[in-house]
Amino acid sequence: MSLLLQGTDLTKRFVIKRGLTPRSVQYETAVNSVSIDIEKARTIAVVGESGAGKSTLARLLMRLVEADSGTVTFDGVDLSTLGRNQLRILRRRIQMIFQDPFSSLDPRKTVGSAVEEALLVHFDMSRSDRASRVAELFADVGMNKRHMERYPHEFSGGQLQRVAIARALAVQPDVLVCDEPVAALDVSIRAQIVNLLGRLQAENGFAILFVSHDMALVRYIADDVVVMKSGEVVERGTASKVFETPQADYTKALLGAIPIPDPRVRRIVGHNTAGAGTRYGGGA
């Protein structure tokens, strides 16, 4: 096992109602004592319904949100011990792709300059070298040079997500955290983006943390699965184990809700294993 990113006993509460005294303050626990290991070149999916704590866990691992308790280590380094500058340097190795690519891009900048900015911040490269590298990245995600001079509002959601992937990969990360990256896209576009991530992972060897509520998609993309409910882990294991022999009733309910092409086909959760654990092997 080549462990890259590890969260141990992570807990995060948010204030939902303030009061005049500490006792009158009300909290909601978004993540409750959750541990997770992310290994090199593997895809681990965190699944569950909305409000399960998936996105909060992803942000805790990125230190975009500070944990109330627990630790996050990357390559053996405790992230809580790092100052702002040290954390900025390390973040080159851990990149995040969000659900809404438009909100993560500056509408006043061309998408080419948005990708180039990552190179400017993290690498000592000449302007011509940066331009060449940006062109390569756009080609890697199925876009071309003329796209580089356009602005975010000129693209579809799927194209913008490709730009977001290019920007994340510009700094050659070891871990790519994907927070519902295809949830807002049409089904056909989802397949394109997921296949793109699979191809780029095979070529570059980075790990993926894939946050999703879509069990059909997770069956297709993941090596390992963590199932969350109400801020806690209720089941974890390899994708084949979770899909073929689920143990938790909640996991069985999630699997039972996966749409099937022919409603006349009888679904038997735990026995209907077609495609389970087969990554990037067909349509999403």
| Per-residue pLDDT tens over the stretch 227-270 | 999 999 999 999 999 999 999 999 999 998 887 665 555 554 44
| Per-residue pLDDT tens over the stretch 5-45 | 999 999 999 988 887 777 778 889 999 999 999 999 999 99
219 within domain boundaries: yes
95 within domain boundaries: yes
| Per-residue pLDDT tens over the stretch 59-106 | 999 999 999 999 999 998 999 898 888 888 888 899 999 888 888 888
Residue-by-residue DSSP string for 172-204: --SEEEEESTTTTS-HHHHHHHHHHHHHHHHHH
CB count in 10 Å sphere of residue 132: 12
279 within domain boundaries: no
Taking the C-alpha atoms of residue 49 and residue 163, their distance in angstroms, rounded to an integer, is: 28
265 within domain boundaries: no
| Per-residue pLDDT tens over the stretch 101-158 | 888 888 999 999 999 998 988 888 899 999 999 999 999 999 988 999 999 999 999 9
The residue ranking higher by pLDDT, 208 or 86, is 208
280 within domain boundaries: no
282 within domain boundaries: no
104 within domain boundaries: yes
| The predicted structure's pLDDT at residue 281 | 46
CATH number of the structural domain spanning residue 145: 3.40.50.300
Q: What residues pair up with 253 in beta bridges, in sequence order?
A: none
| The predicted structure's pLDDT at residue 236 | 97
Both structure tokens of 59: 């942000």
* Residue 194, CA atoms < 13 Å, CB-side half-sphere: 30
CB-based burial label for 50 (10 Å; 0-12, 13-18, 19+): exposed
User: Would you say 124 and 132 are in contact if contact means Cβ atoms under 8 Å apart?
Assistant: no
Can you tell me the mean pLDDT for 161-176? Answer: 93
Structurally, how many domains does the chain consist of? Answer: 1
Phi-psi region of 51 (alpha: psi -120 to 50; beta: other; left: phi over 0): left
Domain containing residue 171: 3-256
Q: What residues pair up with 46 in beta bridges, in sequence order?
A: 211, 226
277 within domain boundaries: no
